[in-house]
Structure 1
Amino acid sequence: MDLSFTEDELAFREEVRAFFRSAVPAHVREKLIAGRHPSRDEMVRWHRTLATKGWSVPGWPVEYGGTGWSPIKQYIFADEMRQTPAPEFCGSGAHLVGPVIYTFGSEAQKQRFLPRIVNVEDWWCQGFSEPGAGSDLASLKMRAVRDQGHYIVNGQKIWTTLAQHADWIFCLVRTDQDAKKQQGISFLLIDMKSPGVSVRPIQLVDGSYEVNEVFFDDVRVPVENLVGEENRGWDYAKYLLGNERVLISPSKERIRRVKDLAARTRVGGERLIDRRDFREKLAALELQIKALEITQLRVIASQSSREKDTQDPASSILKIKGAELEQAAVELLLDVIGPYALPYMSEEDLEAGQEPPIGADWGATIAPSYFNIRKVSIYGGSDEIQKNIIAKAILGL
């Protein structure tokens, strides 16, 4: 298998790189380099810039507003986006629910929702996990009972990323109480402005409010908001999670940041980047990231030979190793800043003009990033779940 880029793909990389360098606002890039999150408005403005270019949903088919790029060009685009860096997707519309709608949804759903995702008119969030149903997602209990032309929805979702910004939420709900766990689940699209929907932010250990609890009390959802067939939601969720796992990968930009900060930090009069023990750690991590990148390219290259609308179980390998290396990269950043990471500050503290951290300003967000990145081995399917998938689907155990 030849994993080298063609001349056309290399020229495409240069085109994307030049566009990102000129189009990403400097203050947004500085936020991302510092490990801080852009605001909702900054993200929406950026993605409308991409929409004007025709690049807001790069992985979609052309007929729905996509680019028609090959999987390799989509990979190059995502890689350059992270390395610039530029804000990634607004909510869960472009890379999660959008593909589910154009693959399994009705024609009316495609016409209604897809153009609004392309132009970032709607912000979507994902309603999967519940208290007691996280890694074992099929144990979810949120109910949707059919009542003539509506479903009456009751229950709770948790760890809902950026639900405070969302206009719509896509949810897994239980529509058959008597069926086996995976066979009684449906996939519903719910307007966040519906009566009975309420959002309660959860403050994380890093001080941020990235995730939320979402409550549904007798929420009426039109039957036409059911995606695909009733009680087939588990199949659609597996398709969606396969897409999400391929997207989880360590950022080479984070490694560049480690190198830059290590070159500016001295320990006992010696630059940290010149210390042999540190360089060995850095080199080992870079080698593993390069190996993961090659594995990711192999998974992408194999997609053309797979049955339509199915996901490669090897995406679970990417998920496990990508999470592990992302955490290792942040741990190296902690090595750089050392004890100055202890009095860390949240983004809310920084924006409120609190007294700056002890030591260099760039250290303010490293400890919060370390704590936040603990999540990547859990969301999108925990490591234990991914190992079960690998054992069954790849090793045949």
Structure 2
Amino acid sequence: MRVLAALSGGVDSAVAAARAVEAGHDVTAVHMALSSSPQSCRMGARGCCSLEDSVDAARAAETLGIPYYVWDLAEEFEETVINDFVEQYQLGRTPNPCVRCNEFVKFRELAERAKALGFDAVCTGHYARVEEGPNGKQLLRARDLLKDQSYVLAVMGEEELDRVILPLGDVTSKTAVREEAEARGLGVSNKPDSYDICFIPDGDTQGFLRARLGENTGNIVDPDGNVLGTHRGYFEYTVGQRKGLGIDRPAEDGKPRYVLETRPSTNEVVVGSATLLSIDTVRANELTWLATDDQGEVLTEISQEMGTDDDQCLYAQMRAHGRAIPVVGLEKTTETVKIRLGEMVRGIAAGQSLVIYRGNRVLAHAVIEFARREGEWK
């Protein structure tokens, strides 16, 4: 099989490509250059897309003896990921740029180009599994749940699922991957992981948004509308945030305040007690349902002993490394889904990804529109 392997320059993609070669595939490597100024895209372990990464990717390809190319996708990345990130914050939402990148760049753009060039599949170093089920391919959590990335891959469509190879889905730990990289002489075994938002390498998201959107002073208010302080831009805040609120006046009960919502129409940030963050009902749109043979039927009884590997139970995950929460109610149309959770969850924001699982199998992905306590729907 002709396979196009995405080499980021890190240890995971290098080992994934090596496994694809070892499996007997005809592998060609490609490095996706996502930044127009790559020399500024790495600070310590932060970020990716640096010149160092492209050099490391080329070295890994040379070690493996496979062809290597660099694709300049900076324009596509700017348009579909960075611009969307800014626009979503401007709308008062909390986007997940990694999901967006995987949807439009690392899979859709990569898969379309691979297909046009005659490749049968693409190979990446993501930690998740694609396995053949009774009714076709299934996307599953990785064996190593601490590294599992099925959450950010759930946005893939059925066609992409049929044309992707994920060789690291069965590994037991990142340590095992590093040891394998060293044994293969790939030269990236001790390279640190990238983290945070790759296009904000200094980690200052507020400063990045302020530079793009400017300052827009407004009020910080409590749920009753009482003014507690001011802010420099509602887009610098996200639901659940506790630090950096800049409020001198303490709450009446002396407990911390948290961001409950941002209101672009009035340029306000609403803060309140932690109890007001707790929700049990979520509505989401832009629904992608991956499992054609499982339409999300919910168990009538949920046992407290059920773990996330119970293949009968329905679960919802709303953060990349968040806990899977049992789902006790689900209603959906072709584009939207509404779920009721089996327990209260705090700090869920519009714009975040909702991923629905049956045990460890991914059923669907949607973008959260809003979250409430049951009975509070407007």
Q: TM-score, normalised by structure 2?
A: 0.29
Q: Which has a greater percent of helix?
A: 1
Q: TM-score, normalised by structure 1?
A: 0.28
